């Protein structure tokens, strides 16, 4: 995420400072535009990019949305844009992937937390108000989402079928 933010900030600063006002060149050149000084450029019809425009252009470009309302207008802007876009789009993809993984993990943990609250009394098998080492391990397995309610119930039923005397233990024979 820091990489993506860094690319956005660098692009914003670059395009505001280098293309704050540009006359472009080639087929997109603004006729009669004088690029030598900012105010002259603006007065003669140059393309102006404010800080907000530059930020917007950076975000829209790096996320590959590209509405087309802003583009690289100068030769330097286009030369900077080639590697900046390639690397920046990769950072944007990494940012989206990281965000998706974080949100998925948060949802998984939230679901596990509600399961823990539902079964905390059931996990205290000896009913002493404290979790033993084994009970703690079961709690951690539930919290991580590795053990479901159904699996715990199946394990309890399996143990109960072996513990004929109901003593909470099974002898090895």
Tell me the pTM: 0.57
- What per-residue confidence (pLDDT) applies to 146? 85
What pLDDT, on the 0 to 100 scale, is given for residue 51? 96
State what percent of residues in the chain have pLDDT above 90.
39
**What is the structure's pLDDT at 150?**
85
Give Cα 115 distance to the centre of its chain.
26
C-alpha to C-alpha distances, 18 to 36, 49, 86, nearest whole angstrom: 12, 10, 20
Query: For residue 149, what is the enclosing H or E element?
Result: helix 149-162
Query: Given this model, what pLDDT does residue 169 score?
Result: 81
Letter string b/e over residues 7-23, b meaning 16 or more CB atoms within 10 A of that residue's CB: bbeebbebbbebbbbbb
Residues of the chain with pLDDT under 70: 1, 107-122, 124, 173
Taking only the tens place, the pLDDT of each residue in 11-20 is 999 999 999 9
Would you state the pLDDT for residue 10? 95
């Amino acid at each position: 995420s820091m990489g993506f933010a860094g690319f956005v900030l660098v692009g914003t600063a670059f395009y505001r400072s280098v293309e704050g006002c540009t006359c472009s060149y080639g087929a997109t050149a603004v006729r009669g535009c004088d690029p030598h000084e900012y105010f002259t450029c603006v007065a003669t019809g140059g393309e102006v990019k404010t800080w907000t425009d530059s930020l917007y252009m950076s975000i829209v470009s790096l996320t590959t949305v590209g509405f087309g309302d802003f583009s690289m207008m100068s030769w330097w802007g286009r030369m900077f844009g080639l590697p900046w876009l390639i690397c920046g789009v990769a950072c944007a993809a990494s940012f989206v992937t990281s965000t998706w993984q974080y949100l998925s993990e948060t949802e998984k943990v939230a679901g596990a937390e509600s399961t823990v609250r539902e079964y905390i009394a059931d996990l205290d098998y000896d009913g002493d108000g404290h979790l033993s080492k084994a009970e703690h391990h079961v709690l951690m397995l539930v919290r991580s989402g590795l053990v479901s309610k159904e699996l715990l119930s199946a394990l309890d039923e399996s143990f109960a079928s072996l513990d004929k005397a109901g003593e909470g233990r099974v002898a090895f024979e």
